[in-house]
Amino acid sequence: MKNNQTFQLVATAASGLEALVGKELRDLGIDCQIENGRARFEGTIETIAKANLWLRTADRIKIVVGEFDALTFDQLFENVKALPWEDLLPLDAEFPVAGKSIKSKLFSTPDCQAITKKAIVNRLREYYHRPASIPLAETGALFKIEVALLKDHVMVTLDTTGPSLFKRGYRLEKGGAPLKENMAAALVMLTNWRKDRPLIDPVCGSGTLCIEAALIGHNIAPGFNRIFACESWDWVDKAVFAKVRSEADDLADYDCELDITGTDINGRMIEIAQANADEIGLGSSITFKQQAVKDFKTEKEYGVIIANPPYGERLGEEETVRKLYEEMGEVFRPLDTWSKYILTSDLLFEEFYGQKATKKRKLYNGALRTDYFQYWGKRPPRVKKEEDGVK
């Protein structure tokens, strides 16, 4: 067992979310460095388990097996072969190799993948004394490897996660343009919402934003309901993951009262959202109801509105969507104690909403460049502290 071995690790992330991933890691007590598309850190199997279980905004946790520069396929082969693959891969390991190459002399990704695979096979054959005439079985546990080249620098990684971290396991059904769970969590974390304040998603679709907010409010680890690829590896101690899950369960605050509401004009989406929330056990923490944006009203104060409305990317939708932005402006603008956060790829959003944003943040929703328009509400008045214990 490699319980106490220290690994070099990366948490990959969508462009624009790297700093959030870094903050999450530091909140877990894990020091890290932020780079484009990832946060680097180091740690043991327990660190890998914690990162997989707790990171809300990352995509994957990967072990960095090796890094080097390579200008020729010979250099790539020899450097990959020199890595200690026998420490990671058993003889029967299934190890597909994915690849990417950006601004590198070795620009053919299929060739880079094939050469990396061949180098690993050769290393394992020599270590396990297997003749070249007998192919490796690859019938065992899955070890997904990636060879990534950027400006002739090679990083070879091993994925510990399996299906991306955004796959929390609660989404039974989704709408037409669903928001990935880790992106939804990021949108919540980029606001000033706290669990003692009301939160509303007025175009909630399948409920992802509301559910992610409820997970945050209850301090429930987002990976609590799923398993990870590395749990099937023979050198990963199952007791480590059991311990981290047990600790996560102890940290969850299942009893706190949350005021989270999701509304949508489409009644079918409200049914789906409720089913998804019920699936993860948060059905009673969120109120879902059918309602058009133009009919929204509230007497509550100091709340937060988060919306991921349609962007009008499809032909013929632009006019309808911009009418929705106008309705949002008319309904939300008077709520001066509320903060509003709206994600869209429409650069003219402010014009139709009728107000300049306090701040904008560039984010990528999948491959689509979007802006997160932020309208900050008035702060609640400060409660004067009692002096000298006298009421």
More reliable by pLDDT, 233 or 174: 233
Give the whole-number percent of the chain exceeding pLDDT 90.
88
Q: Tell me how far apart the alpha carbons of residues 213 and 223 are, in angstroms, rounded to a whole number.
A: 15
Q: Tell me how far apart the alpha carbons of residues 2 and 349 are, in angstroms, rounded to a whole number.
A: 52
Helices (H) and strands (E) in the chain, counts: 10, 14
Q: Which residue has the tokens 């509550």?
A: 300
Q: Which residue has the tokens 């955004």?
A: 166
Q: What is the pLDDT of residue 2?
A: 77
Tokens standing for residue 319: 């006019």
Q: What are 85-143's pLDDT values in tens digits?
A: 999 999 999 999 999 999 999 999 999 999 999 999 999 999 999 998 989 999 999 99
Three-state secondary-structure class, residue 365: strand
Q: What is the pLDDT of residue 390?
A: 45
Q: What is the pLDDT of residue 377?
A: 96
Q: What is the pLDDT of residue 1?
A: 55
Question: Mean pLDDT, the chain, as a whole number?
Answer: 94
The residues pairing with 116 across neighbouring beta strands, listed in sequence order, are none
Do the Cβ atoms of 212 and 185 come closer than 8 Å?
Answer: yes
Label residue 266 by pLDDT band (50, 70, 90). very high
pLDDT tops 60 at residue 241: yes
Tokens standing for residue 335: 């709520």
Q: What are 16-47's pLDDT values in tens digits?
A: 999 999 999 999 999 999 999 999 999 999 99
Amino acid identity for residue 119 in this structure? A
pLDDT tops 90 at residue 318: no
Question: What length does the chain have?
Answer: 391
Q: Which helix (H) or strand (E) holds 371?
A: strand 368-375
Tokens standing for residue 365: 């929703």
Q: Among the listed ranges 135-139, 174-178, 265-269, 360-364, which one has the minimum average pLDDT value?
A: 174-178
Segment 286-305 shows an average pLDDT of 96
Label residue 76 by pLDDT band (50, 70, 90). very high
Give the whole-number percent of the chain exceeding pLDDT 70.
96
pLDDT tops 70 at residue 6: yes
pLDDT tops 80 at residue 13: yes
Do the Cβ atoms of 144 and 94 come closer than 8 Å?
Answer: no
**Going by C-beta distance under 8 Å and a sequence separation of 6 or more, which residues neighbour residue 238?**
231
What is the pTM assigned to this prediction? 0.94
Segment 324-345 shows an average pLDDT of 96
Do the Cβ atoms of 237 and 45 come closer than 8 Å?
Answer: yes
Q: Which residue has the tokens 């109801």?
A: 289
pLDDT tops 80 at residue 289: yes
Label residue 312 by pLDDT band (50, 70, 90). confident
Closest CA to 166 of 224, 248, 223: 223
Q: Tell me how far apart the alpha carbons of residues 124 and 136 are, in angstroms, rounded to a whole number.
A: 9
Segment 373-377 shows an average pLDDT of 97
Q: What is the pLDDT of residue 386?
A: 52
pLDDT tops 60 at residue 385: no
Q: What is the pLDDT of residue 308?
A: 95
Amino acid identity for residue 326 in this structure? E
* Cβ atoms within 10 Å of 167's Cβ, excluding its own: 16
Q: What are 180-192's pLDDT values in tens digits?
A: 999 999 999 999 9
Q: What is the pLDDT of residue 111?
A: 98
Q: What is the pLDDT of residue 315?
A: 60
What are the distances in angstroms from CA 342 to CA 184, 241, 316?
12, 37, 22
Do the Cβ atoms of 147 and 99 come closer than 8 Å?
Answer: yes
Residues 201/204/206/212 CA torsion (nearest 10 deg): -20
